[in-house]
Amino acid sequence: MNQFAILVMMLLALIAGCSKPTLQSSGGYVLEYRLQPNQAATPMSMAAALQQRLRGGGLPDASAAERGELVRIELPGAKSKDLERAKELVQAAGHLEFLICAERGKDDELIETALDDAESGQPPPAKAGYLWARLESGRMQVEPWMVLQPDKKGRQQVLMVVDPDFRVTGSQIESAIASIDSDGQKPCLAGTFNAEGSTAIGFLTANYLQRRLGIVFDGVLLSAPTIRSKIADHFQITGNFTEQEVEYMVALLRAGALPGRLEEEPVKEEYVEPK
């Protein structure tokens, strides 16, 4: 065999070794989901958004496609931990919101309305001016200033003030990165707001100085620092986070909200053996 033929074979072997894994070459998992009823999104639009989210969330070889009325997700080379991460990313809303924490003596009328609504079992009406955020013990401990109310499952919720004039959400974030807090001790989420978000967070923090800024992600209160001064365009969210949790939030924020919601359980979950 001449040197040219040997070189060609070596090059082909190198290309094969560098190619992306497939279900046929590496095995992996397949998930198929149905959209929840009455969704405006189509399987095609959901598949496109999910593929971006999955790849940005640490699964670079994942793919998603329309399969009739279903969304099919392929995870070549995936292990069981990758499967669980994919399921989390598929179900997460990825909704970040900056709100004001309700406090007695400052929001008494709103607090009374919210507690009356909760006692009657009714969800907050549209434009109610409040919402409840879940309090997880691993994130934050109960503090005296909190207005608390258990949800239907007995989990503690904290009351948040929703000011329609100063609503700030993750859609107004321009960039998000995993970082380390100012003490150089713990993982945190940092980033910048776009022009709209910078204006909104500036108004919010300037009008609620010395109040607590509730940072809520997918319905869970992450932290509630006291507003010491007006925030311009940069933010840092600190809390009891692991590196993996911060990376997870970054992935969701970068990919953006999904156009719809899938049913909680896949209609198909299958492991494919490599061939």
The pLDDT value given to residue 3: 57
Chain center to CA of 36: 19
The pTM is what? 0.74
What pLDDT does 11 receive?
52
The residues that bridge with 74 in the sheet, in sequence order, are 30, 63
Q: What is the pLDDT of residue 7?
A: 54
Long-range CB pairs of 35-42 (<8 Å, 24+ gap) are 35/69, 35/71, 35/260, 35/261, 35/262, 35/263, 36/260, 36/261, 36/262, 36/263, 39/260, 39/261, 40/259, 40/260, 41/258, 41/259, 41/260, 42/66
Q: Is the pLDDT of residue 128 over 90?
A: no
pLDDT, one tens digit per residue, over 142-200 is 999 999 999 888 899 999 999 888 889 988 999 999 999 878 788 999 999 999 999 99
| Residue 5: pLDDT over 70 | no
- Residues 22-78 have pLDDT tens digits of 898 899 999 999 999 988 899 999 999 999 889 888 899 999 999 999 999 999 999
Q: Tell me how crowded residue 213 is: count the other CB atoms within 10 A of its CB.
A: 21
Q: Tokens 């959209």 identify what position?
A: 35
Enter the tokens of residue 172: 């107004």
Beta-strand pair 213-217/70-76? unpaired
Structure tokens at 247: 């990376």
Question: Going from the N-terminus, what domains does the chain have, and what CATH number goes with each?
Answer: 22-93+258-272 (3.30.70.3400), 96-255 (3.30.1360.200)
What is the rounded average pLDDT of the residues 115-138?
85
Residue-level pLDDT at 15: 46
Residue 166: the pLDDT is 84
**pLDDT at residue 122 in the model:** 75
* Number of Cβ within a 10 Å radius of residue 53: 24
pLDDT computed for residue 93 by the predictor: 82
- pLDDT of the residue at 168: 92
- 136 is written with which tokens? 């997880």
The pLDDT of residue 31 is 97
Length of the chain in residues, anyone? Answer: 275
Is pLDDT of 221 > 80? yes
pLDDT for position 17: 46
pLDDT band at 9 (very low <50, low <70, confident <90, very high): low
Evaluate if residue 127 carries a pLDDT over 90.
Answer: no
Q: What is the pLDDT of residue 16?
A: 47
Q: What is the pLDDT of residues 239-264, one digit of tens each?
A: 888 888 888 888 888 888 888 999 99
**Geometric angle at alpha carbon 271, from 268 and 273, rounded to 5°:** 145
